[in-house]
């Protein structure tokens, strides 16, 4: 598996909730509490600078059975970087992940772009990530539209195999989570980690 993936298999009733990992630690802890209450595993793509400042959160994410991956070190616009700068962003975050959790994680998502350019794909592969992780459902939660809108936007687009883009650090996302998870359950869709989705 190389290049970029935007969704998993469409023939199984599983989806992946993927979170861009940065934001206020108190809000992140609230979100993790909601996920724990629902026994819902997710995949978190951590910003390295944030993770370095919040190592206990990284360890909590992994200990809870979630997956932790790479979302660059500084969340800058990676598609505008040259090859060396892009590689440095990915590799530095990988080093941070290894220091906090003992692993660079399996997944890399480029920052500030839904799709990886050839330069980004090459930088990611060089840093140990043969696959760049995109998505087919954008919850738009980062625009802070409110919990109801987050649920409605996600449920209008989600289907078996979907990869949903969500964000840490937004109170509306925390508020939406119980309703969103219940709506997925009613539709017969089970949240799993990215690795389980692609296995």
Locate the domains of the chain by residue range.
Answer: 3-198
Per the rule left: phi > 0, alpha: psi between -120 and 50, beta: everything else, 161 is left
Helices vs. strands in the chain: H and E counts, helices first: 8, 8
DSSP string for residues in 82-140: -HHHHHHHHHHHHHHHHHHHSS--S-B--TT-SS--HHHHHHHHHHT-SEEE--SEE--
Buried b (16+ CB within 10 A) or exposed e, 183-198: bbeeeebbbbbbeebb
- Cβ atoms of 180 and 155 within 8 Å: the answer is yes
Q: What is the DSSP letter of 45?
A: E
pLDDT in tens, the chain (199 residues): 679 999 999 999 999 999 999 999 999 999 999 999 999 999 999 999 999 999 999 999 999 999 999 999 999 999 999 999 999 999 999 999 999 999 999 999 999 999 999 999 999 999 999 999 999 999 999 999 999 999 999 999 999 999 999 999 999 999 999 999 999 999 999 999 999 999 9
Residues 6+ apart with CB under 8 A from 7: 135, 136, 161, 162, 163
CATH topology assigned to domain 3-198: TIM Barrel (3.20.20)
| Alpha-carbon separation of residue 52 from 12, 31, 58, 95, 148 (angstroms) | 36, 20, 9, 10, 33
Tokens standing for residue 62: 């992994």
What is the residue whose two structure tokens read 């629902």?
Answer: 38
């Amino acid at each position: 598996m190389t290049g970029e993936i935007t969704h998993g298999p469409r023939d199984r009733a599983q989806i992946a909730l993927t979170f861009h990992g940065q934001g206020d630690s108190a809000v992140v802890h609230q979100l993790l509490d909601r996920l724990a209450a629902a026994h819902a595993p997710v995949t978190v793509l951590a910003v390295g600078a944030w993770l370095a400042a919040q190592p206990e959160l990284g360890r909590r994410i992994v200990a809870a059975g979630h997956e932790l991956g790479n979302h660059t070190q500084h969340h800058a616009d990676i598609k505008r970087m040259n090859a060396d700068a892009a590689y440095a962003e990915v590799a530095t975050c990988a080093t941070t992940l290894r220091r906090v959790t003992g692993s660079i994680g399996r997944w890399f998502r480029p920052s500030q772009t839904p799709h990886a350019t050839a330069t980004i794909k090459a930088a990611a592969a060089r840093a140990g990530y043969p696959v760049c992780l995109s998505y087919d459902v954008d919850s738009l939660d980062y625009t802070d539209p409110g919990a109801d809108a987050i649920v409605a936007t996600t449920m209008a687009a989600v289907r078996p195999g979907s990869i949903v883009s969500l964000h840490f650090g937004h109170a509306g996302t925390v508020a939406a989570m119980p309703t969103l998870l219940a709506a997925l359950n009613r539709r017969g869709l089970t949240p799993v980690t990215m690795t389980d989705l692609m296995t």
